[in-house]
Structure 1
Amino acid sequence: MGTVVMHNVASVDGFIADRNDDVGPLHEWYFSGDTPITDGDDAGFDHSGAGARFRVSRASAEYVRSTWDSIGTIVMGRRLFDLVDGWEGHPPVGDHVVVVSHRPKPEGWHPEASYHFVDDVKAAIDKAQELAGERVVAVNAGDVGGQILAAGLIDEVAMDVVPVVFGSGRRYFGNIDRQHLLEDPHVVIPGDRVLHLRYKVRRTATGR
């Protein structure tokens, strides 16, 4: 099975958006460099509304490109699904999406899209790994990501840390209420206005 990686862009104080789900300057680094992440038209990745192509520093481009290419399935919560309307059935990376939700897929919503609605985090990861095969399962950080980490189902934590302090908002780890040890970072890549970090989750005797 592929690695399960929890990921998001975050402020230095650990927020992925403000209380109104506004990401503010967190994604500005995607458009401030001179190196395109993809060779072709990546307008589908752009959720800023500006129609701009992603252009980042060279170090970020190499890291992000390889990360995107490795992903087979995205796992997200219903809140994000509703905010972005599930990217209208076209996930920004990977081929499949698993949505953790007690509500079913909206009736008539893009029946051709490989989106699967599951009401339990373990069942969501099992389904995501089945769909991804040997490719990576990318778990969006936030409340659902925190629940999946708490359940011992995350292999690695990846953060793109932006030099801004939010003070409050939506936490990267959601409402997680106990300590979880990580290994030393095995990826530390400084880019322009972003620091890419990646940690393996330390397993305990009772861990997965």
Structure 2
Amino acid sequence: MGAVIMHNVMSVDGFIADEQDDVGPLHDWYFSGDTPITGGDDPEFDHSGSGSGFRVSKASAAYVRPMWDSIGVIVMGRRFFDLVNGWEGRPPVGDHVVVVSHRPKPEGWHPEASYHFVDGLSAAVDKAQHLAGDRVVSVAAGEVGGQMLAAGLIDEVAIDVVPVVFGSGKRYFGGIDGQHFLEDPHEVVQGERVLHLRYKVRR
């Protein structure tokens, strides 16, 4: 089975969004470079309003492309799903999405989309790994990601650190309790206005 990797973009003081769930400048680096992440421009996921799709520095593209290509399934919490309306049934990466939720999929919501609503952390990871096969399961950081790390369900932590201080907001690791140790980073890539880090979880 593929690795289960917790991932998100984070401010230097540990936040993935402000108190209103606004990511602010955290994603600016996705649109400030000259190298497309995907093979061609993809305006479907262009949040900059420029119509140019994802364009990052060459260093970031070399890091992000293989990571995105490796992902088979995204795992997210219900709050995140509701905020983005599940990307209208078209996840930015991977072929499937598993939503950790006590509530079922909204009635009539994109029946063609491979979205699975699962009650429970372990059950969500089991479902995601079954769907992903040998590919990576990407867990969105935040409350659900932090809970999965605390439960021993995460293999790696990937953080794209942006040089901005939020002061308060939604934490990368959510409200996780206790100490949890990571190995030294096995990948460190300096992009433009972003630092890419990957850590294996110490067992």
Please classify the TM superposition score into its range, dividing by the shorter chain length. over 0.9
* 2:96 maps to 1:96: yes
Question: 1:87 corresponds to which residue?
Answer: 87
Question: 1:13 corresponds to which residue?
Answer: 13
Name whichever of 180-189 and 49-58 sits farther off.
49-58
Superposed counterparts of 1:56-205, under 5 Å: 56-203=56-203
Q: Distance in 2 between matches of 1:17 and 1:50?
A: 22
Q: Deviations over 1:77-134 (max 9, x none)?
A: 0111001110000010000000001111000001111000011000000000000000
| AA in 2 matched with 1:74 | I
Question: 1:206 corresponds to which residue?
Answer: none
Number of equivalences: 203
Whether the 8 Å CA contact 2:41–2:54 is kept in 1: the answer is: no
Q: Deviations over 1:141-198 (max 9, x none)?
A: 0000001111100000000000000010000000001110000000100000000000
Whether the 8 Å CA contact 2:41–2:52 is kept in 1: the answer is: no
Residue 52 of structure 1 and its aligned partner are, at CA, apart by 3.3
| AA in 1 matched with 2:87 | W
Q: Distance in 2 between matches of 1:114 and 1:16?
A: 26
Residue 48 of structure 1 and its aligned partner are, at CA, apart by 4.3
Q: Distance in 1 between matches of 2:187 and 2:89?
A: 31
Q: 1:44 to 1:175 in 2, by over 3 A?
A: same
Question: 1:31 corresponds to which residue?
Answer: 31
Gaps of 5+ in 1: 204-208
Gaps of 5+ in 2: none
Give the SS at the match of 1:105. Answer: coil
Give the SS at the match of 2:166. Answer: coil
Given the two structures, how large is their TM-score scaled by the length of structure 1? Answer: 0.95
Q: Distance in 2 between matches of 1:2 and 1:44?
A: 27
Give the SS at the match of 1:99. Answer: strand
Given the two structures, how large is their TM-score scaled by the length of structure 2? Answer: 0.98
| AA in 1 matched with 2:78 | R
Q: Distance in 2 between matches of 1:41 and 1:79?
A: 29
Q: Distance in 2 between matches of 1:36 and 1:56?
A: 6
Q: Distance in 2 between matches of 1:123 and 1:24?
A: 33
Name whichever of 137-146 and 37-46 sits farther off.
37-46
Root-mean-square deviation (Å): 0.9
